[in-house]
């Protein structure tokens, strides 16, 4: 049996990897994970693991425009570059294993 939390953090990790963000080690008892720029490793915040399956991609897909506009992400511009290559529909559909 796969532990739900491990599956979920892998899902979060892969969703963030798509837009050029690394999910690092947990900061508070496995509840929050640090986010770091995939290129320069700058600290970009934290993400909680109390999400529902599929939710992280929904959240991130709503933020894609903000990353494109440079309002979110690292000042080095790495996420902006990565997000340009992301197809929002495809990004979102990768979210839902079997609904």
Contact predicate 16/45, CB 8 Å: no
Residue from 22, 26, 42, 88 touching Zn ion (CB under 5 A): that is: 42
72 near Zn ion, judged by CB under 5 A? no
Which residue's structure tokens are 């990565």? Answer: 82
Which position among 16, 67, 78, 91 is part of the footprint of Zn ion (CB under 5 A)? 78
Query: By CB under 5 A, is residue 37 in contact with Zn ion?
Result: yes
User: Is the Cβ–Cβ distance between 4 and 45 less than 8 Å?
Assistant: no
Structure token digits, residue 72: 């979110």
- Cα torsion 77, 45, 7, 97: sign: negative
From candidates 12, 23, 56, 74, binder to Zn ion by CB under 5 A: 74
Based on the shown chain and the rule CB under 5 A, indicate whether residue 45 belongs to the binding site for Zn ion. no
Q: Report the residue from 40, 66, 69, 96 that binds Zn ion according to the rule CB under 5 A.
A: 40
């Amino acid at each position: 049996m796969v532990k739900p939390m491990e599956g979920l953090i892998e899902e979060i990790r892969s969703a963030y990897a798509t837009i050029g963000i690394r999910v690092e080690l947990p900061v508070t008892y496995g509840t929050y994970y640090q986010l770091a720029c995939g290129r320069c490793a700058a600290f970009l915040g934290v993400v909680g693991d109390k999400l529902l399956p599929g939710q992280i991609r929904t959240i991130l897909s709503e933020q894609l425009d903000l990353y494109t506009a440079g309002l979110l992400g690292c000042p080095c511009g790495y996420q902006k570059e990565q997000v340009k290559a992301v197809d929002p529909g495809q990004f979102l559909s990768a979210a839902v294993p079997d609904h």
